[in-house]
Amino acid sequence: MENKKALVWLRDDFRINHNSALVYATENHEQVSTVYIFNPEDYEDKREAQRWWIYHSLINFKQELSKFNISLELLVGDEAHILKKIKTADKVSLYWNKIPEPEEEKKEKKIIKTLEENNINFKFFKGNILSEYKEVTKNDGTPFKVFTPFWRVAEQVYLNKVPSKKSKTKKKNKKIFIFKESSDLSKVLPNKNWFKKFEKYWTPSEIKSDKVLNDLIEKKIGNYHKTRDYPSIEGTSKISPYLKHGQVHVEKIWETCQNIKNKNTGFRKFVNEIGWREFSHSLINYFPQMLKGNLRKEFDTFPWVENKKYLEAWKRGITGYSIVDAGMRELYETGWIHNRVRMIVGSFLVKHLRIHWKEGEKYFRNTLLDFNVANNVASWQWVAGCGADAAPYFRIFNPILQGEKFDKDGKYVKHWVPELKNVPTKFIHRPWEMDDETQKSVNIKIGKDYPLPIVDHAKAREQALKAFDKITK
Ligand SMILES: Cc1cc2nc3c(=O)[nH]c(=O)nc-3n(C[C@H](O)[C@H](O)[C@H](O)COP(=O)(O)OP(=O)(O)OC[C@H]3O[C@@H](n4cnc5c(N)ncnc54)[C@H](O)[C@@H]3O)c2cc1C
């Protein structure tokens, strides 16, 4: 390699291990630096929660990189414009890992053009995915729209090419800086400071991510199929924000799972969820129109309702349906929400309130720490019935029964909706049914201290089905 210096453009890659671009740069160059580019355009009105995660990731990763004599530089602005500043005369080679999303691919193409025009040496690697979407197709070369056959083929494609041994990031002799000045890391933080609370729940680092993965393997995966649906139990991995920001590569999760001796139903179920993530990525890349609208076009005429009051009640967790409110409050407080509850709150928004799934997608995009375009858009369309292999629109979750089934003793609700903490279990998912005397005995007035349901379940269900009829006729 004729260039002595290398620059690694960090994106969703806050890890030392299993980081192809970083490994390659440290193996092939004497001196290496890294750059994170914060492009404010990507955060206009969105991804506020993730700015908190990125800020802490930068702080922690800078320290880890330092142990390898690698610096981390933060630049603010447009990626192509910034990367162009690497002068040919400086003889710096540029490396990065891809992000498997259509918008990011567009961005990469623009950057590649600029780099070529400026004679800058570069190379890029597969992103945080098992297989690139083009590798997994039906026999006739067309994309899958149904999960089970997709995953059967996708697993096999990956198994056929699992890398045998991975090289490691190498320590360098001396630190270098490529850019004249680096911005202060706090530039990344959002303006609002509601995110302060996240510190109680999360540590955005590779070390913590490894612990989360170990915990999954040692304590959770064996019973995953039994516990994953109960929000009061920590039955799922909670690895999603680490995976989104690349504190862990999905290949590492896969390999760690494969090393388990007892490959029981829990193991299988968990690995399938990793498969759903692959499926979502395949969908948005093959059908990028999904990012803007319904995959199933018949939904384009669905009579959605615009109702700011209901939307606000949903966001703030004051709908009067306790499991919905608990979920939305968990989200706002922690930047994360349990999968079962994501389905319940999602269904409530698009079916009981008949508000467009795009509103839900937008709110999640802003508040979820694990937001990723593929999973979020595909899951919202799954919930609304307008996506691939989706839950049919006419199957409407009853939030009362969902609560009684998956939060039987009301532990989850009582934790997130403390107004209801003394409500007898019998009424915890239908508090409006308590008579005056019962309400008095537990010191609550429904309609004053906690809202009455904003819509009646039976009526809302009927109206949703009527609306659905309109698009199927
Ligand atoms: C309306 C809605 C919006 C969602 N938005 C997102 C999002 O923006 N980002 C996101 O990562 N997930 C999203 N999901 C999927 C899922 O809820 C989360 O991945 C999961 O709750 C994360 O928690 P965990 O890491 O404990 O999951 P685990 O159950 O431990 O699963 C492990 C990993 O598998 C993947 N996974 C699990 N369930 C799904 C699924 N249904 N679809 C795709 N991948 C899955 C995730 O990467 C997850 O981290 C959404 C689901 C719904 C219903």
- 376: CA distance to ligand 1 center in Å? 8
For ligand 1, whether the C-beta of 329 sits within 6 Å is: no
For residue 166, what pLDDT is reported?
A: 77
The enclosing domain of 82 has a CATH number of: 3.40.50.620
Q: Looking at the domain assignment, is residue 185 inside a domain?
A: no
**Largest Cα–Cα distance in the chain?**
83
Q: What is the pTM of this model?
A: 0.97
Q: Looking at the domain assignment, is residue 186 inside a domain?
A: no
Give the total residue count for the chain.
Answer: 473
- 375: CA distance to ligand 1 center in Å? 7
Q: Quick one: 66 and 111 in the same domain?
A: yes
Q: Which domain holds residue 89?
A: 5-127
Report, as an integer, the average pLDDT of 338-354: 98
Q: Helix or strand or coil: residue 122?
A: strand
Q: Looking at the domain assignment, is residue 196 inside a domain?
A: no
Q: Looking at the domain assignment, is residue 177 inside a domain?
A: no
Within 414-457, strands assigned E span none
Q: How far, in Å, CA of 15 to CA of 127, rounded? A: 13
Report, as an integer, the average pLDDT of 385-414: 94
Report which of 31, 23, 38 is spatially closest to residue 6, judged by C-alpha positions: 31
Average pLDDT, the chain: 95
- Phi/psi of residue 31, nearest 5 degrees: -130, 140
Q: Quick one: 337 and 376 in the same domain?
A: yes
Higher pLDDT: 390 or 358? It is 358
- 129: CA distance to ligand 1 center in Å? 14
**Atom 12 (ligand 1) nearest CA:** 375
The enclosing domain of 464 has a CATH number of: 1.10.579.10
Tell me the percentage of the chain whose pLDDT exceeds 90: 90
Higher pLDDT: 178 or 165? It is 178
Structure confidence by residue, pLDDT tens digits, 292-311: 999 999 999 999 999 999 99
Q: Looking at the domain assignment, is residue 174 inside a domain?
A: no
- 238: CA distance to ligand 1 center in Å? 9
Q: Helix or strand or coil: residue 72?
A: strand
For ligand 1, whether the C-beta of 75 sits within 6 Å is: no
Q: How far, in Å, CA of 388 to CA of 443, rounded? A: 47
Q: How far, in Å, CA of 33 to CA of 92, rounded? A: 10
Q: Quick one: 384 and 240 in the same domain?
A: no
For residue 164, what pLDDT is reported?
A: 66
Q: Quick one: 83 and 107 in the same domain?
A: yes
Number of domains making up the chain: 3
Q: Looking at the domain assignment, is residue 179 inside a domain?
A: no
For residue 22, what pLDDT is reported?
A: 98
For residue 162, what pLDDT is reported?
A: 81
For residue 180, what pLDDT is reported?
A: 85
Judge whether residue 392 has pLDDT over 90. no
- 20: CA distance to ligand 1 center in Å? 25
Q: Looking at the domain assignment, is residue 451 inside a domain?
A: yes
Q: How far, in Å, CA of 258 to CA of 222, rounded? A: 13
Q: Quick one: 103 and 142 in the same domain?
A: no
Element of type H or E holding 71: strand 71-76
- The angle at the Cα of 382, spanning 378 to 387, to the nearest 5 degrees, equals 70
Task: Tell me which DSSP letter residue 68 carries.
Answer: T
Which tokens in the block code for residue 244? 């989104």
Q: Quick one: 259 and 280 in the same domain?
A: yes
Q: Quick one: 255 and 315 in the same domain?
A: no
Tell me the percentage of the chain whose pLDDT exceeds 70: 99
The enclosing domain of 134 has a CATH number of: 1.25.40.80
pLDDT band at 161 (very low <50, low <70, confident <90, very high): confident
Best residue among 370, 377, 406 to mutate for probing ligand 1, ranked by most atoms within 8 Å of CB: 370
For ligand 1, whether the C-beta of 53 sits within 6 Å is: no
Distances in whole angstroms, Cα of residue 347 to Cα of each of 269, 320, 397, 436: 23, 15, 6, 31
Best residue among 202, 224, 240 to mutate for probing ligand 1, ranked by most atoms within 8 Å of CB: 240
Q: Quick one: 223 and 281 in the same domain?
A: yes
Report, as an integer, the average pLDDT of 215-237: 97
Give the distance from CA 119 to its chain's centroid: 36
For residue 1, what pLDDT is reported?
A: 57
Q: Looking at the domain assignment, is residue 365 inside a domain?
A: yes
pLDDT band at 438 (very low <50, low <70, confident <90, very high): very high
Terminal-residue alpha carbon distance, the chain: 65
- The angle at the Cα of 79, spanning 241 to 133, to the nearest 5 degrees, equals 55
Judge whether residue 96 has pLDDT over 70. yes
For ligand 1, whether the C-beta of 220 sits within 6 Å is: no
Q: Quick one: 62 and 154 in the same domain?
A: no
Which tokens in the block code for residue 256? 């760690």
Which tokens in the block code for residue 92? 């710096």
Q: Quick one: 447 and 338 in the same domain?
A: yes
CB 237 within 8 A of CB 196: no
Q: Quick one: 152 and 282 in the same domain?
A: yes
Q: Quick one: 242 and 315 in the same domain?
A: no
Report, as an integer, the average pLDDT of 213-232: 97
Report, as an integer, the average pLDDT of 1-24: 93
Judge whether residue 341 has pLDDT over 70. yes
